[in-house]
Amino acid sequence: MECIESFNFQTGRRVGRRYVVVERLGAGWEGEVYRLVEETTGIDRVAKFYFPHRNKSGRAAQRYAIRLHRLRDCPIVIQYIYHDWCHFHKARIEYVVSDYVEGELLSRILSRQPGKRFHTFEALHVLLALARGIEQVHARGEYHGDIHTDNILVRRRGLSFEMKILDFYDLGRSNKEKRFEDVLDMIHVFYEILGGRRHYARQPAIVHDVCKGLKRTLIRRLFHNAGDLKRYLEKYGWDG
Ligand SMILES: Nc1ncnc2c1ncn2[C@@H]1O[C@H](COP(=O)(O)OP(=O)(O)O)[C@@H](O)[C@H]1O
Ligand SMILES: [Mg+2]
């Protein structure tokens, strides 16, 4: 199997019958992500193109498409549009098209904050929005597998953070352990956006009650999935 490390698609390149490349958005282990425009409508889309050696017999792309489709009712998940393949140097390249989401990466918003950290209440809003969104993914028996600040697109509206989660990671069949790993990842995001280890000791009680010093066994006693975390935040007893 040919080992392609980059497609390096240029702006204006046609993809299949309906899309034209706008720009490259990212490159990961499985493939590359490009912004495309649908030629007939001018609608922006995003496509993930799979490296053939990471997508033997087309299964990875198919699984990703089916997973997004199964989660189409979850507002935190980007909408699946289309799956197809194109040629690249005689290789068959599969790609999965989804909607293009306006927003800014959480990592980028964080880097603009004074001291590169959020206030407690802002961070709690971020965590609650994540927990509410991922709860629906977990309720459908699925998991994300790679939650971190570079995979969360945010649009701020009023007091709330509307978010979309990108880049589902395929770790095989969903189970309790993978859903718990999502919970740990969400708590790591919360810890990171509050300034990490340097500021942890001085954080208010709610932060310690949720983060538990990032100790898995302590966190597992409280939360098994995103729904547990969401309910905990919604019912938190401020007065002890
Ligand atoms: N549906 C989307 N809408 C808008 N931007 C996106 C979308 N999907 C990905 N991106 C942008 O592309 C970057 C890379 O995409 P991602 O799916 O995280 O792949 P990877 O991390 O493997 O490069 C993201 O960090 C984000 O900035
Ligand atoms: Mg990513």
Domain spans, the chain: 14-99, 104-234
Interval between CA 204 and ligand 2 midpoint (Å): 31
Compute CA distances 11 → 5, 27, 187, 191, whole Å. 19, 16, 38, 38
Interval between CA 33 and ligand 2 midpoint (Å): 9
Interval between CA 79 and ligand 1 midpoint (Å): 13
Q: Give the sign of the dihedral formed by CA 51, CA 55, CA 59, CA 64.
A: negative
pLDDT at 109 over 80: yes
| Residue keyed to tokens 């709610």 | 206
Q: What is the atom index within ligand 1 of the atom nearest the CA of 98?
A: 1
Q: What is the pTM of this model?
A: 0.94
| Residue keyed to tokens 């007065």 | 239
Say how far apart CA 213 and CA 210 lie, in whole Å: 9
**pLDDT in the model for residue 72:** 97
> Best substitution site from 167, 168, 170 to test ligand 1's pocket, by max atoms within 8 Å of Cβ?
167
**Residue 55 binned pLDDT confidence (cut-offs 50, 70, 90):** confident
Token pair recorded at residue 225:
């999935």
Candidates 1.20.58.1610, 3.30.572.10, 1.10.510.10, 1.10.8.60; CATH matching 104-234: 1.10.510.10
Interval between CA 167 and ligand 1 midpoint (Å): 7
**pLDDT in the model for residue 215:** 98
- The hierarchical CATH code for the domain 14-99 is 3.30.200.20
Q: What is the atom index within ligand 1 of the atom nearest the CA of 32?
A: 23
